[in-house]
């Protein structure tokens, strides 16, 4: 039999389930115990899956009528990965299961569709999706994605500190090469902002490389660990709605939600003061939209990863070439300019020793604008062999700047938009507005003095 279509939720035929032998499939509790979890620590790590149904689903998805072994592959903050291996052909797949703390936000179809689009339309190295189901009432008991597994891989951060500069440069060049593929403009049917999904009514033999097999829907975002389902794929409407939502989260019945604002008992803040700050955020974000509207080249929709980090990338163990980008839960369709950013691992703000009037602080500060420093790496030890913290911090800033410079040079080689000086001027207000709208009221209040200066300087 052929594998099932992946453009619709996976359903295992009843006749397949009835013939499937699940007697040897361990329970989830047994799997966790075998992985080294203590009996009293299992409860908080249970996803609640029916492992027999999961084994059956994987068997059907791969059209391999055989019972796979199941082991725990990894557990992250939002997902648990189970490794399923079929003994006869040694084929391995991963089952991606959302943890209980992540189920308020359902991005299963979007993740599956975005991975599939990236692989088949953009030719970005991403896991192949074999099956998915976004409903928690399926036989597995929770939504799932069954996807490709990769052997002989490492994550870029593994051994980074002891790697040669040549190896680091190669990794950064690889990441830059593929980052440009993320930044490529979406094809005409998908020129909107939001989340990818599969188009409705597609045949089983859908051509996955056809952009018409996909649609852009209003995005589902994670706001204070809760889902926010937007109502528009227009960027101005999306930003206005997001501003209203973030403001409402912090104001209740005309008062303030101090917990949402993350205020300490001794923090002074009242509703009128916060409303004034919120108004400044709206003014600033609309100014950023105006800047973007005057530079439409940088507003083109593209794939933007909100969780761009080494831990979500797999490299070939021998060549250090990118084997796969593995976490697509936070990849959205957003403006090109929002995607011009760095992996978290080379974007660290080492602020110790910086003067209070350093440009880093004058910029906000914002994570996407870390303190750059260039110069010679110095010996961080004094004559007695003791570490000199100031030198150590300076060295780290210089190293981080070198890595970012290398990454940007790689981007500029393949995408001329990034080589344009004005792009960086457009990037500044847009990324800052985007950050403010994503993270909400507690960030607005923290940056209120900076916001006031920005608004006053433009009036």
Domain boundaries, the chain: 14-149, 160-194+230-458
Q: Rounded mean pLDDT of the chain?
A: 93
What are 266-311's pLDDT values in tens digits? 888 889 999 999 999 999 999 999 999 999 999 999 999 999 999 9
The pTM of this model reads 0.93
Q: Which fold has domain 14-149?
A: Phosphorylase Kinase; domain 1 (3.30.200)
Beta-sheet strands, E only, within 61-202: 69-75, 79-85, 92-98, 129-133, 144-148, 153-154, 195-198
| pLDDT given at position 382 | 81
Tokens standing for 82? Answer: 């189970």
- What is the DSSP track for 224-275? TTEEEE-S-SSHHHHHHHHHHHHHHHHEETTEE-TTTTT--TT----HHHHH
Strand partners, 227: 222
Cis peptide before 365 (omega within 30 of 0): yes
Find the length of the chain. 459
Inter-residue long-range contacts of 308-311, CB under 8 Å, 24+ positions, other chains counted: 308/341, 308/342, 308/343, 308/344, 309/343, 309/344, 309/345, 310/155, 310/156, 310/157, 310/160, 310/343, 310/344, 310/345, 311/155, 311/157
| pLDDT given at position 386 | 86
User: Per-residue pLDDT for 33 more than 90?
Assistant: yes
Q: How far apart, in whole angstroms, are the C-alpha atoms of residue 59 and residue 64? A: 5
Q: How far apart, in whole angstroms, are the C-alpha atoms of residue 264 and residue 262? A: 7
User: Per-residue pLDDT for 459 more than 60?
Assistant: no
| pLDDT given at position 2 | 63
Strand partners, 322: 315
| pLDDT given at position 354 | 87
Tell me if 113 sits within 8 A of 219, measured CB to CB. no
Helices marked H in 165-227: 165-183
| pLDDT given at position 1 | 55
Strand partners, 313: 325
Of 118, 139, 140, whose CA–CA distance to 128 is shortest? Answer: 118
| pLDDT given at position 266 | 82
| pLDDT given at position 18 | 84
What are 331-340's pLDDT values in tens digits? 999 999 999 9
What percentage of residues in the chain have a pLDDT greater than 70?
99
Three-class DSSP labels, 384-411? CCCECHHHHHHHHHHHHHHHHHHHHHHH
Please state the rounded mean pLDDT for residues 415-430. 96
User: Cα separations (Å) of 130 from 6, 20, 120, 145, 243?
Assistant: 6, 19, 13, 8, 38
Please state the rounded mean pLDDT for residues 388-394. 88
């Amino acid at each position: 039999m052929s594998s099932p279509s992946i453009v619709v939720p996976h359903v295992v035929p009843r006749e397949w389930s009835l013939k499937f032998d699940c007697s040897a499939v361990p329970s989830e509790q047994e799997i966790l115990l075998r992985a080294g979890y203590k009996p009293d620590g299992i409860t908080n790590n249970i996803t609640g899956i029916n492992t027999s149904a999961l084994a059956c689903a994987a068997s059907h998805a791969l059209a391999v009528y055989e019972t796979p072994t199941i082991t725990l592959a990894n557990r992250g903050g939002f997902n648990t990965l189970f490794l399923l291996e079929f003994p006869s052909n040694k084929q391995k797949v991963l089952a991606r299961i959302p943890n209980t703390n992540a189920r308020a936000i359902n991005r299963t179809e979007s993740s599956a569709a975005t991975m599939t689009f990236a692989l088949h339309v953009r030719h970005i190295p991403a896991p192949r999706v074999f099956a998915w189901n976004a409903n928690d009432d399926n036989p597995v008991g929770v939504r799932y994605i069954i996807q490709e597994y990769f052997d002989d891989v490492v994550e870029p951060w593994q051994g980074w500190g002891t790697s040669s500069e040549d190896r680091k440069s190669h990794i950064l060049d690889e990441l830059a090469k593929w980052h440009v593929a993320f930044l490529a403009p979406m094809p005409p049917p998908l020129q909107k902002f939001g989340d990818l999904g599969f188009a409705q009514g597609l045949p089983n033999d859908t051509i996955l490389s056809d952009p018409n097999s996909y649609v852009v829907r209003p995005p589902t975002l994670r706001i204070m660990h809760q889902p926010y389902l937007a109502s528009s794929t227009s960027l101005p409407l999306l930003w206005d709605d997001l501003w209203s939502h973030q403001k409402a989260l912090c104001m209740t019945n005309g008062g303030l939600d101090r917990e949402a604002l993350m205020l300490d008992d001794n923090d002074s803040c009242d509703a009128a003061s916060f409303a004034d700050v919120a108004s400044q955020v709206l003014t600033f974000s609309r100014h950023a939209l105006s800047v973007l509207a005057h530079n439409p080249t940088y507003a083109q929709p593209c794939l933007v990863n909100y969780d761009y980090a080494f831990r979500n990338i797999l490299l070939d163990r021998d060549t250090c070439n990118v084997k796969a980008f593995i976490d697509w839960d936070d990849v959205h369709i957003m403006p090109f300019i929002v995607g011009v950013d760095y992996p978290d691992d080379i974007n660290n703000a080492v602020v110790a020793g910086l003067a209070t009037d350093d440009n880093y602080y004058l910029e906000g500060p914002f994570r996407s604008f870390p303190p750059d420093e260039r110069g010679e790496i110095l010996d961080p030890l004094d004559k007695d062999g003791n570490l000199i913290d100031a030198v150590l911090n300076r060295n780290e800033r210089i190293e981080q700047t070198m890595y970012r410079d290398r990454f940007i040079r790689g981007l500029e080689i393949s995408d001329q938009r990034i080589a344009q000086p004005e792009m960086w001027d457009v990037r500044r207000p847009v990324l800052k507005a985007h950050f403010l709208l994503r993270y909400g009221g507690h960030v607005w209040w923290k940056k209120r003095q900076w916001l006031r200066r920005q608004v006053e300087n433009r009036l």
